[in-house]
């Protein structure tokens, strides 16, 4: 996989507005996907869009989603066009005018027709990637899925070829004539952080907290992407 | 508006799995919408779902979205079925088994065919609600939109009748036979917080920070819902 291979530009991924906020670098896409925790998965069911939050994992240029075999949105996704969006909100931008109030964010929008993953090895690798994406190190520190649990799980793969990334950073951008107005302008930064771990009350007394959990406490969610187990 | 009027139950809003996580109380829906910052807006364009992050505002039982008049996703939304999803991620739940790893969250999923808002008063009220939703007090502390800016803005309204709310809280739920295993279990709480305001470098020297901004510093994003200007 060449991380510098450009993303495919199609009608769907072409930004029709504010093109300066767009990026077509594959490495920028992967940075957003690595930093994000969940995605919003959109699929058309009976003609109507359905948008649901869910976890995800990435291996190379494939994005994996999973769910219960009773999950309708995944059942309807195979071979159909879907849209997966990952958004990181970085700040509220206060401009002098209501019109130029904005947000700082990084967002990735991926289009494609997913493939149902049936190969047992790929299914297991995908579930590991989804698990590790949320909590690096968790796979090795949990009981692995049984055959019955695997049978109750659907895994789909989406190619990361048709995607767009949009990023807004920096401060307020006001109309020239508004800079003299007596309104405050600036940015309220937003951070998503992991707090202090709350051990399960049913753990044996004196259970030590494993390193992969201790490492995440009091860290920004995006720091996960810098940890040894993620790529 | 009666906040206790139950939400409409349709095929789309019926939870097909884990029904104990569902809520049909209108007040629970409003709590999630008040606490959330952005939504993910899903619309079908040329047969394919498109999911984009955007701000929103609520007045009574109507949800308002806005965008540039060049925004394709809003142009395609009028009179068509759309889906608006608001998700608050509250924690990563570590179970003893990979299969039972989970997340704590609150999510609202709203379906319906939006109406294009054309009445000037309703358009202005909607823009005020969208502005105030992100930053209570901001409307009164910014320059109001000009006719030209209003003409460049599309506003749509979505009824909050057909919606579902799903909430997961608490700790890990493991298989009975797994409680004896030597794996750590517990919750890593996640919080989205507003940091220290970064004043625009082009503000006149010595500009005071207004109260509505100072009130938000170092607060959890959900605290906005408790502030005087929100309902």
Question: In angstroms, how far is CA A182 from the centroid of its own chain?
Answer: 39
Q: Which range among A68-77, A164-173, A182-191 shows the weakest confidence by mean pLDDT?
A: A68-77
Q: In angstroms, rounded to a whole number, what is the distance separating the alpha carbons of residues A138 and A140?
A: 6
With cut-offs at 50, 70 and 90, classify the pLDDT of residue B184: very high
B150 CB neighbour count, 10 Å cutoff? 15
Beta bridge partners of A164: A109
Other beta carbons within 10 angstroms of residue A152's beta carbon come to 14
Whole-number pLDDT of residue A125: 98
- For residue B21, the chain A residues in CB contact (below 8 A) are none
**List of chain B residues whose C-beta atoms are within 8 Å of the C-beta of residue A217:** 188
The residue in chain B having the minimum alpha-carbon distance to the alpha carbon of residue A44 is B49
Lowest mean pLDDT, pick from A33-42, A74-83, B26-35, B129-138: A74-83
Q: Are A142 and A59 in contact (CB under 8 A)?
A: no
pLDDT band at A73 (very low <50, low <70, confident <90, very high): confident
**How many whole angstroms separate alpha carbon B64 and alpha carbon A219?**
34
The minimum CA-CA distance between A95 and chain B, rounded to whole Å, is 7
| Interface contact B203-A194, CB threshold 8 A | no
From the list A142, A227, A187, A112, the residue with the least C-alpha distance to B100 is A142
Instruction: Give dist(CA B198, CA B200) in Å, integer.
Output: 6
Whether pLDDT at A82 is above 80: yes
Segment A93-121, tens digit of pLDDT: 999 999 999 999 999 999 999 999 999 99
User: CA-nearest residue of chain B to A146?
Assistant: B99
Across the interface, do B92 and A131 touch by the CB < 8 Å criterion? Answer: no
Are the CB atoms for A220 and A190 separated by under 8 Å? Answer: no
Rg (chain A; Cα; Å): 20
Residue B223: which pLDDT band, with cuts at 50, 70 and 90?
confident
Is there a contact between A230 and A133 (Cβ–Cβ < 8 Å)? yes
Report the C-alpha gap between A210 and B43 in whole angstroms.
43
- pLDDT above 70 (res A39): yes
- Give the pLDDT score at A4: 44
Q: A105 contacts in B (CB within 8 Å)?
A: 53
Contact A51 B192 (CB under 8 A): no
pLDDT given for residue B15 in this prediction: 60
Average pLDDT over residues B176-203: 97
Task: Report the distance separating Cα A123 and Cα A156, nearest Å.
Answer: 9
Name beta bridge partners: A68.
Answer: A153
**Cα–Cα nearest to A12, from A145, A137, A113, A155:** A113
pLDDT tens readout for residues B53-81: 999 999 999 999 999 988 888 888 888 99
The minimal CB distance from B97 to the residues A143, A184, A221 is found for: A143
User: Does the distance separating the beta carbons of B185 and A190 come in below 8 Å?
Assistant: no
Chain A residues whose beta carbon lies within 8 Å of the beta carbon of residue B146:
99
A139 within 8 A of B96, measured Cβ to Cβ: no
pLDDT for the residue A1: 38
Burial of B11 (0-12, 13-18, 19+ CB in 10 A): exposed
Q: Are B173 and B144 in contact (CB under 8 A)?
A: no
Residue A223: the pLDDT is 85
Q: pLDDT band for B193, please (50, 70, 90 cuts).
A: very high
Looking at CA atoms only, how far is residue A40 from chain B in angstroms? Answer: 7
Q: Which residue of A has its CA nearest to B213?
A: A188
Residues of A in contact with B77 (CB under 8 A): none
The Cα–Cα gap between A67 and B129 comes to 36
Cβ separation B47–A49 shorter than 8 A? no
Task: Give the C-alpha separation, B74 to B154, whole Å.
Answer: 7
**Mutate which: A106, A133, A148, A200, vs B, most B CBs within 10 A:** A200
CA distance B38 to B29: 15
pLDDT at B205 over 70: yes
* B183 interaction partners in chain A (CB closer than 8 Å): 141-143
Q: Say how far apart CA A203 and CA B96 lie, in whole Å.
A: 10
Count H helices and E strands in chain B, helices first. 5, 12
Best mutation target, A13, A42, A130, to test chain B (most B CBs within 10 A)? A42
């Amino acid at each position: 996989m060449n991380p510098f291979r450009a993303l495919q530009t199609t009608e769907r991924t072409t930004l029709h507005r504010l093109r300066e906020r767009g990026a077509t670098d594959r490495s920028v896409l992967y940075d957003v996907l690595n930093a994000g925790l969940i995605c919003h998965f959109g699929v058309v069911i009976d003609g109507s869009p359905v948008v649901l939050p869910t976890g995800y994992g990435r291996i190379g240029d494939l994005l994996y989603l999973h769910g219960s075999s009773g999950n309708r949105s995944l059942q309807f996704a195979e071979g159909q066009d879907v849209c997966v969006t990952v958004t990181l909100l970085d700040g509220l931008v206060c401009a002098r005018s209501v019109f130029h109030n904005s947000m700082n964010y990084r967002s990735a929008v991926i289009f494609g027709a997913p493939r149902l993953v049936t190969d047992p090895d790929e299914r297991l690798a995908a579930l590991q990637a989804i698990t590790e994406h949320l909590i690096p190190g968790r796979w090795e520190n949990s009981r692995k899925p049984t055959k019955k649990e695997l049978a109750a799980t659907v895994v789909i793969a989406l190619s990361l070829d048709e995607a767009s990334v949009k990023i807004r950073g920096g401060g307020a951008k006001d109309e020239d004539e508004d800079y003299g107005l007596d309104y405050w302008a600036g940015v309220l930064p937003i951070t998503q952080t992991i707090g202090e771990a709350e051990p399960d009350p049913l753990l044996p007394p004196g259970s030590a907290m494993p390193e992969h959990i201790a490492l995440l406490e009091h860290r920004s969610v995006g720091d996960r992407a810098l940890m040894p187990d993620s790529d």
